[in-house]
Copies of this chain bind each other. A is one copy, B any other.
């Protein structure tokens, strides 16, 4: 809409686009601190900025990624995370064949240096993209180095001190939701 030259957006329109109740949208937007204008709506640029700030996109966040497999590569190559303030500084792996190589312009380092580099460089976000079997071990290493938050893609519930934030990405859970909805739809094909 910004590209279309629009200056304002009403919660009515947002609600339509997202299939939500307009009141919900107003309540949620109120959290960002933005103030709209009756009859007009919200200033588009101001709203985008308010949301970005509220979600912490404006704070640049350096991160280390562990596990230089396909998924690790995919995350390193995705440009969209930049807009959210995330910068993946380096990848770590234990495979000697990978160490020293470059992936999407970032070096792959030896995982034995992970903890040390986290504390020395003051990195506070760790991304775990390893097989499940070693995820806890990697998490422990990150915690030892002083990590503050872990973005975990391994299908494991990590055990960490509760000062450390863990955000799990559960692809299998998403697949299960799809799978379950598909079963439901077939049971009651008339509805939905």
Binding site for B on A (CB under 8 A): 17-18, 54-57, 59, 61, 69-71, 73-75, 77-78, 80-81, 84-86, 124-125, 148-149, 151, 155, 157, 162-163, 165, 167, 169, 171-172, 174-183, 185, 192
Contact = CB atoms under 8 A, between A and B. Distances in A.
B169 A171 contact: yes
Contact of A155 (B73, B80, B124, B182): B80
Contacts of A56: 176, 179-180, 182-183
A157 B17 CA distance: 9
A73 B171 CA distance: 15
A74 B84 contact: no
A60 to B, nearest CB: 11
A22 B113 CA distance: 42
A7 B84 CA distance: 46
B185 A55 contact: no
A161 B192 CA distance: 11
Given A155-B80, A171-B169, A179 B85 contact: yes
